[in-house]
Structure 1
Amino acid sequence: MLKPDLPDQRLSLLETLAAYTRSSAWVEFMEDRKGMLKPGYLADVVVLSGDIEAVPFIQLATLRPMMTVCDGRSTYET
């Protein structure tokens, strides 16, 4: 529960995604090879059943993985 006398310190969805991607690569000193979907960069990718930016927050848990790609090869497909 948020208290009126304390500032809201929750991260937005995009801030959270950046923390898990770009910021994590920066901490590893690998921002020149990881952290973004960019040609030549390393990436593990999950394709979800819906758009996480369009789905209401309360429904994020209903999204399911449709495909995962690790090291350039598909490791899961529905």
Structure 2
Amino acid sequence: MGVTRTAAPDAGPEFAGRLTPQPGMTRAAVLRAATIDAAYTLRQEKLIGSLEVGKLADLIVLDRNVLAIPEEDIANVRVLQTVVGGVVRYRGE
């Protein structure tokens, strides 16, 4: 995970602990990397990557605010809903 530099909790014991000694990224930097920066890399920043009028608004709804919880809890956040093309494609428990 970009913030803590650890693998997902269910990755298995061989991946336990920090992935590398480098420091993690800030939460804002990780969110930016996964959204607008990824769109820019794909040359799609005019269509995706941020919530703006005229852009596609695929999104997920999480069970917690990843900006406000302890870093070690981020990996346990669950997706409650996924919306693609304006249609709910997934609704969790």
Decide: shared fold, TM above 0.5: yes
SS in 1 for 2:68: coil
Task: Pick one of 8, 14, 25 that aligns with 1:11.
Answer: 25
**Equivalent residue for 2:91?**
77
Match for 1:33 among 39, 47, 60? 47
**How many Å apart are 1:53 and its aligned residue?**
0.5
* CA RMSD after TM alignment: 1.9
Q: Which amino acid aligns with 2:58?
A: D
Structure 1 segment 61-72 matched on structure 2, within 5 A: 61-72=75-86
Kindly provide the amino acid, as one letter, of the partner of residue 67 in structure 2.
E
In the alignment, structure 1 segments of 5+ residues that lack a partner are: none
Structure 1 counterpart SS, 2:48: coil
Alignment coverage as a number of residue pairs: 74
Q: Following TM superposition, by how much is the alpha carbon of 1:9 offset from its aligned partner in structure 2, in angstroms?
A: 4.5
- Superposition TM-score, scaled by structure 1 size: 0.79
Gapped regions of structure 2 (runs ≥ 5): 1-17
Q: Deviating runs (4+, > 4 A) in structure 1?
A: none
SS, match of residue 26 in structure 1: helix
Listed one character per residue, the Cα deviations across residues 15-68 of structure 1 (whole Å, up to 9, x for unaligned) are: 011111111111122211111011221132110011110110111122211111
